[in-house]
Chains A and B, each alone.
Chain A
């Protein structure tokens, strides 16, 4: 028996995210006003829409009323001519109603789509303006759900809640007025049912939305398990665990189906109850109405009863609709609130208004008593003080989490120093316009990212508009054109998210070529060669030194072979530079570096460099 306590074994445990994101929010006038603000650019459209909404709210009850009127009037009187006229009148009114519907729908949906596009663009631009630190805090899934789910909730808020809600509220109001006008006593009887219908609706809507939330959570367990099972198929098969996983999945699927059934129970109770309550309305109408009709003094005409049967239908469908919308509205409010919260989130920092656009730089970098912590209370870099001359190649060496990556990220102005300063060509980094710095800088990471598109497209990201020849030339200068051309479609091979389809090493080469094409003054390599195998590294070693030539280069490498030729090696430990000097100096010093180097070459193993 496995001693570790896991009551039921499962393939993937989905971690329940702490629920800081509410699904619903009460109506909030300020939020609503802000939402309405998005309609301003489309003012004529909005005004027409408002007009049509009012018209439609009147037309619907009128239509029901006219049906009753024809039955009561000409038909009960036996007036054939009047009946046909009445029927035609009804037809005409129906046509008008549908034309109104056509335009109301069209305008409502159009406005919704346009507003959605506007908000999406606003969000995207806002997200892009955020400094890199933001992306470390904010999960990708969150950002996507703002852009997709929440923006859609806002659209639904504008379209359904605002316009459809007005129509439904209006139709209930107008039919109520009509019923009151026809017979107020009978109307009071009908009104008795209204709060019950509304309450039923409200109660079940919230029950259904609870059940559906639980269902979604359960479904996310299914998809997460599936995703890991597919991505981890090599592990599963490699460890011959197929049948164990299949049994576990069956249990999970069965468990999930319970949520499905629970959802069906909630909604299965709701719809029949609604229907039942509308039947109750008919029954009450016939009973109470019947008594009023049969009364000796001041009887209600039977036609009134028929009118009420039609009008109460319209009345209650409006009431029910409002009940549904109330729920949608609260969801929309929560979505809108999240979208606005993101839009209102100020960047931690942004370039000052008078930021200097860097002239072409020589690549002189100075770190002046630089201190930094992602959390200011926990500094990661302490008092880094170093000057890097134009054209120098600097190697940063040290254990994981010694602060190497943090230091280059600061030099790239992805973060701002907590204390101290960095100067590029003598200009304080805070006063430099980030874009002008980045356009003279190239960074290659270990986790290199390729965008969907061809390899050539990705290389061209370094210099948009570069010709095919320039792209090939850059690859040739890095001595890897043949490797890239040997891919199925050569430089036109498509790579997907995360560059599937080509190996990690090949991906890395693309990033090198991209950087070379950009022709930066400052080049940063963050563990960039680690996923390139040694044989390829041998090949591109020379080319790399070509790439380094004439630029200021910062190289973080755990392959010390890369470090061998650096002008300056900085050995970092827990956020401090503990040794600096060139390779031979540091070896002679017998400090941390020489130990690292010993581990690396396993002293005496390789012997002297063979003559070549």
Chain B
């Protein structure tokens, strides 16, 4: 059911376009990037100096011990005064190493903090904010088409992976180029031939690491899918435990879980086999370098062409760093792939058309009277299945419209067209005579109060939930709304009254309580139009009675759309619409519809008291009611 519009934008972005956009993003943060680069250069320089000082120390010792051995090369050709005892020379070198290491440690710390501030505090916050902002304004269609997990992941994981383009690709690439260049120049300056020989294995190393990464990446991805699948079985078993136990299906679910778990294990074993082959192989390749270094470098030292410390030992250190950077190339390529894929998903949201948007010349409607007209409206979620077909009706301000119909007949859809959650494909809907498409969406929605079938509450305080539509509402307003919705009393009895935090969106409240909060939330805005999508579906008759009673006063003076089942509600409606497969089958007042034989009459009669019941109710009581039972008597 994935619909085309959301994915089309992303597919049309070529890799080049994507990279260009990412580069533009990087450019936004250029000053931070430059600072980080400067620190990195400092690190490189001080690191190399430290390494060469260690080499110098060894050579100095050798030359002191054995005057015949080659003279050490002092930095800037400044040997210590000949009068110094060897210990003094050594101390200077050791202190130099320590000093450099200290500077390096400080730079390194600065570097990682600065980098983190740049990435997390600037890039990621920037990306998350714009993606979230865009998300909030996308039409419901987007949310229907994409699983909530995937949407959440775009703001969390994908944003981080997009960020990777800046640090993992651009910065890492520059750092790598720079350091490989410097290492190479240093090594060549020590001995060009040795450098070439030692680096002969580099292409092999690079090849191996990329093969390894390319093989494992999809495998790890698959592993995550398999693990998710296994956890899904567990979570469904727990969530559906009543079904599992009720039908005695434990053995089957155990088998399914065992299969899923075994699948994870077996796939992981393949990964294990790969890793345990490749990683020692790659380590061995870098060790071949050392074999070459020992053999040929040793030969050079013997021939006196290379100093032992500043030459061989330093070379060994350089070689190690160099191999490390080469192995990073594979990471760089991965980061590039990963960041492109993630950026595609992020841009996908940023580019998604906001289907429902106020036009620039939208009419501002601060005070809506509440006249609603449907003119031959057609609507479909998917191109070829019409959910609403040719719906026309006319509601005057303050009128009450009840909508009835079978499951999937389009009742909720019809209701969601009024606040413009979707636009009809054909026909139009007018409010106070204006086509909805010409009206400012925020004005429109602020004048429409909505109570959903499954009311969603946020994990926040009761007061914040009621004031959701009007964040600055006073306690007075909140309480008034709650009172009308018959919620005030139970709210006061909660742990902290109006400041009680709702657990997991009110999971600790009863269905009726949640629904009453939702009604209070809708009433706070004092809307001209009230929409109620079967709000009493999940409450018992007593609670339902209370809600309906309270809704009476709330509905007064407002245009109300109510999806309802109950005859009492239907009877008071000015207009009853009977929907079937998206068409209006019957329309009229309750009395008019009851007068004709049809689906409406059949439905209402089911709830009506039959003759026998009426007789039983009107006859004198057979058993004298006890005092407790009599209280509620009419």
- Flag whether A207 is at the interface (Cβ < 8 A): no
| Other-chain contact of A128, B254, B288, B633 (Cβ < 8 Å) | B254
**Is there an interface contact between B234 and A143, defined as CB atoms closer than 8 Å?**
yes
Quick check: A240 and B298 within 8 Å, CB to CB? no
- Residues on the A chain within 8 Å of B623, using CB: 588-591
Q: Once bound together, how far apart are the Cα atoms of A75 and B565, in whole Å? A: 96
Task: Give residues 443-471 of B contacting A (CB, 8 Å).
Answer: 445-446, 448, 450, 452-454, 456, 458-461, 463-464, 467-469, 471
Contacts of B234 in A (CB 8 A): 124, 127, 143-144, 147
Which residue in chain A gives the minimum CB-CB distance to B292?
A: A87
A229 CB–B CB distance under 8 Å: yes
User: Which among A235, A261, A290, A401 is the interface contact of B86 at CB below 8 angstroms?
Assistant: A290
What residue of chain A has the Cβ atom nearest to residue B304's Cβ? A78
Interface of chain A residues 385 through 424 with chain B (CB within 8 A): 398-401, 412, 414
Give a binary string over B55-85; 1 marks a CB under 8 Å from any A CB, 0 the rest.
Answer: 0011001101100000000000000000000
The answer to whether B302 and A275 have CB atoms under 8 Å apart is no
CB contacts (< 8 Å) of B634 on chain A: these are: 595, 598, 603
A497 (CB) vs chain B CBs: closest residue = B236
Q: Assess whether B556 is interfacial by the CB under 8 Å rule.
A: no
Question: Within residues 1 to 54 of chain A, which ones have a CB less than 8 A from any CB in chain B?
Answer: 1-6, 9-15
Which residues of chain A are within 8 angstroms of B463 by Cβ–Cβ distance? Answer: 4
Tell me which residues across on chain B come within 8 A of A579, comparing CB atoms.
Answer: 629
B232 within 8 A of A: yes
Contact call A578/B629, Cβ cutoff below 8 A? yes
In the complex, whether B200 has a CB less than 8 A from a CB of chain A is no
- Is the pair A13, B242 in contact by a Cβ cutoff of 8 Å? no
Task: Report whether B459 and A452 are in contact in the complex, using a CB–CB cutoff of 8 Å.
Answer: no
Is B265 within 8 A of A286, CB to CB? no
Given A242-B136, A253-B128, A90 contacting B143 (CB threshold 8 A): no
B241, CB-defined interface residue at 8 Å: yes
Q: Does B366 contact A (CB under 8 A)?
A: no
| A531 interface contact, C-beta 8 A | yes
A131→B239 CA distance, assembly (Å): 14
User: Do A531 and B538 contact each other (CB < 8 Å), given the known contacts A538-B606, A561-B607?
Assistant: yes
CB-defined contacts of A290 to chain B, threshold 8 Å: 57, 61, 86-87, 90, 94
Contact B609 A606 (CB under 8 A): yes
- Which stretch (B2-10, B185-193, B426-434, B595-603) binds chain A? B595-603
Q: Which residues of B contact A88 (CB under 8 A)?
A: 291, 295
B238 at the interface (CB under 8 A from A): yes
Binary contact track A115-159/B, C-beta < 8 Å → 1, others 0: 011001100110110001001000010011001100000000000
- Say if the beta carbon of A203 comes within 8 Å of chain B: no
B298 lies within 8 A of A74 (CB): yes
- Contact A95-B284, Cβ < 8 Å, known A276-B101, A538-B606: yes
In the complex, chain A residues whose CB is within 8 Å of the CB of B272 = 105-106, 109-110, 113
Q: A579's closest neighbor in chain B, by CB? A: B629
0/1 string, B453-492, CB within 8 A of A gives 1: 1101011110110011101111100100000000000000
B242 lies within 8 A of A87 (CB): no
Question: Does B421 have its Cβ within 8 Å of any Cβ on chain A?
Answer: yes
Of the stretches A190-198, A329-337, A376-384, A440-448, the one at the interface is A440-448
Residues of A within 8 A of B61 (CB): 286, 290, 293-294, 302, 305
Contact of B291 among A87, A140, A148, A518 (CB under 8 A): A87
Question: Known: A445-B242, A609-B605. Is A584-B633 also a contact (CB below 8 A)?
Answer: no
Is A267 an interface residue, CB under 8 A from the partner? yes
Q: A102-B277, A143-B238, A261-B120 are in contact. Are A240 and B152 (CB under 8 A)?
A: no
Given contacts A80-B299, A113-B265, A144-B234, contact A12 B475 (CB under 8 A): no
- How many chain B residues touch the partner (CB < 8 A)? 198
Contact of B121 among A94, A227, A261, A590 (CB under 8 A): A261
> Of A162-170, A174-182, A347-355, A502-510, which stretch is located at the interface?
A502-510
Q: Are B136 and A245 in contact (CB under 8 A)?
A: yes
> From residue B611, how far is it (CB to closest CB) to chain A in Å?
5
Chain A contacts for B450, CB-based, 8 A: 234-235, 238-239
CB distance from A186 to the nearest CB of B (A): 13
Q: Are A229 and B136 in contact (CB under 8 A)?
A: yes
Interface check B419, CB cutoff 8 A: yes
Alpha-carbon gap, A541 to B602, bound state (A): 12
B170 interface residue, CB < 8 Å from A? no
Given contacts A237-B445, A435-B250, contact A90 B291 (CB under 8 A): yes
Q: Does B14 contact A (CB under 8 A)?
A: no
Over the window 236-254 of chain A, the binary record of Cβ atoms lying under 8 Å from chain B Cβ atoms (1 yes, 0 no) is 1111111111100110011
Contact between A534 and B603, CB atoms less than 8 A apart: yes
Q: Per-residue CB proximity of B261-298 to A under 8 Å, as 1/0?
A: 11011001100110111011101100110111011001
A70 within 8 A of B: yes
**Are A451 and B236 within 8 A (Cβ)?**
yes
Task: Considering the complex, give the chain B residue whose CB is closest to the CB of A286.
Answer: B57
**Judging by beta carbons under 8 Å apart, are A603 and B609 in contact?**
yes
* A268 with B294: CB separation less than 8 A: no
| B388 located at the interface, meaning its Cβ lies under 8 Å from any Cβ of chain A in the complex | no
Chain A's nearest CB lies how many Å from the CB of B354? 10
Query: Does any Cβ of B come within 8 Å of A488's Cβ?
Result: yes
- A140 pairs with B125, CB closer than 8 A: no
Of B65, B90, B408, B474, the contact of A503 (CB 8 Å cutoff): B408
Residues of A within 8 A of B613 (CB): 564, 583-584, 587, 597, 601
Whether A264 touches B617, Cβ cut-off 8 Å, given contacts A223-B152, A399-B540, is no
Q: Which residue of chain A lies nearest to B89 when distances are taken between CB atoms in the complex? A: A290
Question: For residue A428, which residues in chain B have a CB less than 8 angstroms away from its CB?
Answer: none
Q: In this complex, what residue of A is CB-closest to B411?
A: A533
B1 at the interface (CB under 8 A from A): yes
The verdict on A264 contacting B115 (CB below 8 Å), with A224-B459, A287-B94, A590-B621 known, is yes
Interchain CB contact under 8 A, B276 and A102: yes
Contact of B243 (CB < 8 Å), options: A260, A449, A496, A558: A449
- CB within 8 A of B294: which of A10, A70, A260, A541? A70
In A547-588, which residues have CB < 8 Å from any B CB?
558-561, 564, 578-579, 583-585, 587-588
Which single member of A9, A127, A561 contacts B471 (CB below 8 Å)? Answer: A9
The 6 closest A-B pairs by CB, nearest first: A606-B608, A264-B116, A505-B407, A268-B112, A279-B101, A239-B469
Q: List 12 A-B contacts (CB under 8 A).
A: A6-B461, A94-B291, A99-B280, A144-B235, A230-B151, A234-B456, A242-B137, A257-B121, A302-B58, A449-B242, A498-B239, A601-B609
